[in-house]
Structures are given as structure tokens and as C-alpha cells.
Structure 1
Amino acid sequence: MAAPIDKLFLEICNKFGIVLTLKQKQAITGLFNFKDVFVGTKTGSGKSMTYECAPILFDNGTTLIIAPLTSIMKEQVDRLKGLGYKAIHIGTEEDDIHGIRNGHYHFVFGSPELLVGNEMWRDVIKSSSFQNNHRLTVVDEAHTVVQWGHGSAQESPFREWFAHIGELRSLSLNVPVLALTATASPTNRKKIMKSLCFKKDSIVILDNPDRQNIKITVITIPNNEDDEKLFHWLIKGTHGEYRAREHVP
């Protein structure tokens, strides 16, 4: 007999028309077991799938996603609606506060300024109606927790509420947290997990940062080197591409 998680994997693959990778399975299994999960894998590795399958994983309910940019939210809302899910991003004139509070949506997207910094939305999140349906909290582009939320002695934070996302944990103590990023050093990863109040038994999923198709070379050149001579290969190549596009004989 197949294990329950294997049946869920099959249902996810059928729903999305994909084959799950090992790392996706590891992340989904962690969430299925109510563990906090940190996924630090490269762009295009399918990180979003680990929360897009939440309605299957948790038998519907609401997934709360904190994202840094409205464009990201709109793109994901459109994608999820196309898959037949109910999704919404808050911060528009069409905010369905009643529907969000009462669990009418599978996915609710919002910025930390609203979800954490706005008293009205905090009240919605901590309401018993929302809590009864809240299954997962996701922090997309989680590197912004440190890069945008933390300042320095010389500069204030770019968007300080990113450093306060962890406060949502106090509102939903038993809901797992999923952090997704493609750019977090080991030091920043620890800072992010601490800031988001990850539990001690959390799961960390990483891939090798090496990129076979990227090469970085450093050369030293004299200050008086002629720019045209130095970059002749780039200028020649760019000029050739331009002429080709413009059909210049």
C-alpha cells in the first residue's frame, strides 16, 4: 500500500502536470509533517510549487504568502486562478475582507507593510475565523527579510517591516512557515530563519550554487588603456547584432 504522502505526490503531479523533483518532495514532506522549511535553490527550480500544492497537502484551508512586489503577487494570483484555486492579493480597492477572514480563499498574498504593519489586517489574521482555516505561512523572496528589513549604522532599512514578518508566528504558533529564496548566503540564511522564528526541528533544503554556464574572470588593466581597444570584441559583437536586427547591408 502506498504511503499517504506518495498518494499526495501523485495527486499533485496530476493536478499540475509535472514530475516532482527530489527537493520539491523533501520540502512538501516537511510541510506535511508540520515542519518549518527553508528552501534555498536556484531560480527556475520550482520553489513556488512547494506552496502551490498546499490545498492538496492540507485539504484546502488558507495559505498566507508574504511577497515583496505587487507584480509577483498579481502573477501568482493569475496563475493559481487559472488552476481553479481561489486566490487574492490584498492592498486594492477590491479587498474582500469578509471572504479572507472566513477562509473563502486558498491563497492570500500581501506585503509585510499590510499583513504585519497594518492593525486592521493583523486583527483579520488573528481572528478565530481566519485561524481556523490558516494552514501555511510562506515568505517568498525571503532574502528581503535581511536585505530590505535590516539597516546599518549609516542607513535606515529600505522596508523595515520585512524584519518584523516573524511576528506573524505569534499569531499562528502551530502553522508551519515556508521560506523561499534563490540568493541567501549561509550567514544570511541563519539570520532569516532566526528573524522568522523558525523552530529547532526545521528543514533546510539547498542546492549547489555552482553554475556551469556562468564564468567569472578578473583581469587587471592599466588606467591609461584605450577603452575602444580594450573592449573592441564587445563593441564589434554588439555592432554586428544591431546591424543584423536592423537589416543593414
Structure 2
Amino acid sequence: MADLKVAVKNCLKYFNVVTIKPEQQRILDAILTYKDCMAVLPTGFGKSLPYQLLIPVKKELGQNDGKKVIICSPLIALMKDQCERLSQISGVRAVYLGGGCRDPAVERGEFDYLFAAPEMLVGDQHWRSVCQKFQVSTIVIDEFHTIATWGEDEGGKKAFRKWFSYIGEMRSLYPEASVLALSATCTQKISSRVKKILNFSTNIIEICVSPNKENIKIVVQKIPNSIEMALGWIIEGLHDGTFPRTLIYCMSIKDSSNIYMYIKNELPECTCIDMFHSETDDKKKIKDNGSA
């Protein structure tokens, strides 16, 4: 389709992208034709680009039917960032539906893209009722593995965010819409579970690219139950200035705090470290994001 190729090329400039990858094109083709798609693509591959292109491409082709795209995601910062980027495109409006939101524009359906967490889309009765009135072409489930890893009880523990396991109900709210499920890495077991929850048919379009990268390696090492013995190498690297920018992921806020205080106590003159977690003040999050 020559017209489609031209339209895609014209719209890529909005995202500062020169060419579209074959896998991205396959995803775009699927959602343009209302077909379900599950894509597992490595971090940084550009999983979001196809659905971000959907509305601009439709407008470029003169085929915009006014139907909306709903993106269900667990990541607030990412949703806000994508919402801001899409809103910079002329003729495209994106909104983020967060907790406590009572945006009249959302109530009236004055948007092309709606970003929200499952707690809002299926867990909040008010917004569930409001959103059900919209004409929707595509439902995007970002980080779809969280349906199984966060949404379900496991080992006697309650689900971390139970509404993730109810995302499949969106299919009944928008029976005509196609579903695009995206993830960076996913096991076969989780993939099979998610397919059942999202009621995917057997002829679903599946796209998978290996996450293996030659320039990245993973090393697992058992360490002593002592923060001093385990993290001495970090202190040395920070002290002599040989470390590049480094992220340390922790399982809890308590762990983050312990490591942060350990480094500050060992290197009181060090001003280049900080903590970032769910309880971090919003003003600080914005400041840190702007300076990153």
C-alpha cells in the first residue's frame, strides 16, 4: 500500500524517527485492520510507536473514524510522558486519567488517546461507566505480564494490584475493539495465562524478538548478609570517580533507604546520589526527571 507507506513516513517526523522497523510495521498493520496482536519486544525497541502512529496515520490517510485508543499501563511516569509527547502533535489530543481526576474533557470524550491504570479503567465504577460510552478502536495493554505477576494471588499472598487481573473485562466494554498486548520479556507460561485472560483467539498475530544483546550481560552472585561487605566496591568506584551513572534497584523502600544511608555515611562529601521510589515527593520526581 503505497499510500500507507507515504502516510507512515510523513508521521514518523512527529517522533523524530526516520524509518519504522518491520516488527513495528506489523503491529501497525494489525491495529489498522482491527486485529488482535501480542508483541514481546526488547526494552528500547520502540513498542509504543505503532499505536502512537495509529491516529496520526489515520488522519494522514483521511480515514480517521473518530474512534479512540485506550492505553492501560502500570507506569504513571511513562503514561504522562507519552501523553505529553502525543499532545504536541497538531490535531492529536492525549489525556492521562489519574487518581482523583475529574477532567470535564475526559467526561466529554474530547481526546484521541486515553492513558490510565486498570484501577481507573475497570476498578473505578464512575470512570468505567464514563469510558464505556466511548467508541474505541484499540485497547493497548502495556507491560501485559503484570496481569499475571501483579494481578493474581500467589503463595498465600494477596495480589499486589488486583485490578490487573480484571483487565480482560475491557473486551466486554468494547467488543468491536482490537487488543494490542505489549511486553519486553515474558515466559511462555505467563503468555499463555494472559492470552486466556484477554480472550485472544487462536489466530492472534504474535511478534517476538529475542531480548538478548551482545553488549549486555547478567551476572548473579551470592553475597554476604552484610551491606559493608556486599557494597564495598560501590564505595571504591564512587570515591575514585570511575563509576558511570548507575542505577541500583531494590525490592523495598527500606532496602533503598539502607543503601542510600550507607553510601552517604561512607562518603559524606558525595552529592551525586539520591533515592527515587513510590513515596518520593512529586515535585522532586519532576525535578529529577527534568535533570536526567
**TM-score class normalised by the smaller sequence:** 0.7 to 0.9
Aligned partner of 2:205 in structure 1 is 203
Residues 34 and 137 in structure 2, CA contact (< 8 A), matched pair in contact too: no
Residue 110 of structure 1 aligns with an amino acid whose one-letter code is A
Residues 5 and 29 in structure 1, CA contact (< 8 A), matched pair in contact too: no
Q: Once the two structures are aligned, what percentage of the paired residues are identical?
A: 32
Higher RCO, 1 vs 2 (CA within 8 Å, ≥6 residues apart): 1
Equivalent positions of 1:221-232 (< 5 A) are none
Aligned partner of 1:192 in structure 2 is 194
Instruction: Return closer, same or farther for 1:87/1:95 CA change in 2, 3 Å cut-off.
Output: farther
> In structure 2, the residue corresponding to 1:71 is in which secondary structure?
helix
Residues 61 and 103 in structure 1, CA contact (< 8 A), matched pair in contact too: no
Instruction: Give CA-to-partner distance per residue, 1:22-48, whole Å, 9 cap, x none.
Output: 110011111122111112111111111
Aligned length: 235
The alignment status of 1:176 with 2:178, answered yes or no, reads yes
> In structure 1, the residue corresponding to 2:29 is in which secondary structure?
helix
Instruction: Give CA-to-partner distance per residue, 1:125-148, whole Å, 9 cap, x none.
Output: 222xx12xx111111121211111
How many Å separate the matches in 2 of 1:167 and 1:185?
23
**Structure 2, unaligned stretches of length 5 or more?**
59-63, 244-268, 271-292
How many Å separate the matches in 2 of 1:219 and 1:115?
41
134-143 or 230-239: bigger deviation: 230-239
**Structure 1, unaligned stretches of length 5 or more?**
none
Query: What's the TM-score, normalizing by structure 1?
Result: 0.82
Residues 32 and 57 in structure 1, CA contact (< 8 A), matched pair in contact too: no
Aligned partner of 1:81 in structure 2 is 87
How many Å separate the matches in 1 of 2:25 and 2:137?
18
Residues 71 and 113 in structure 2, CA contact (< 8 A), matched pair in contact too: yes
> In structure 1, the residue corresponding to 2:166 is in which secondary structure?
helix
Equivalent positions of 1:1-249 (< 5 A) are 2-18=1-17, 19-58=19-58, 59=64, 60-84=66-90, 85-91=92-98, 95-97=102-104, 99-127=105-133, 130-131=134-135, 134-217=136-219, 236-241=236-241
> In structure 1, the residue corresponding to 2:202 is in which secondary structure?
coil
Query: What's the TM-score, normalizing by structure 2?
Result: 0.71
How many Å separate the matches in 2 of 1:41 and 1:235?
35
* Aligned residues: CA RMSD: 2.9
Cα deviation, residue 232, structure 1: 8.0
Residue 106 of structure 1 aligns with an amino acid whose one-letter code is D
Instruction: Return closer, same or farther for 1:235/1:207 CA change in 2, 3 Å cut-off.
Output: same
Instruction: Return closer, same or farther for 1:11/1:220 CA change in 2, 3 Å cut-off.
Output: closer
Instruction: Return closer, same or farther for 1:220/1:108 CA change in 2, 3 Å cut-off.
Output: closer
How many Å separate the matches in 2 of 1:169 and 1:57?
24
Residue 95 of structure 1 aligns with an amino acid whose one-letter code is R
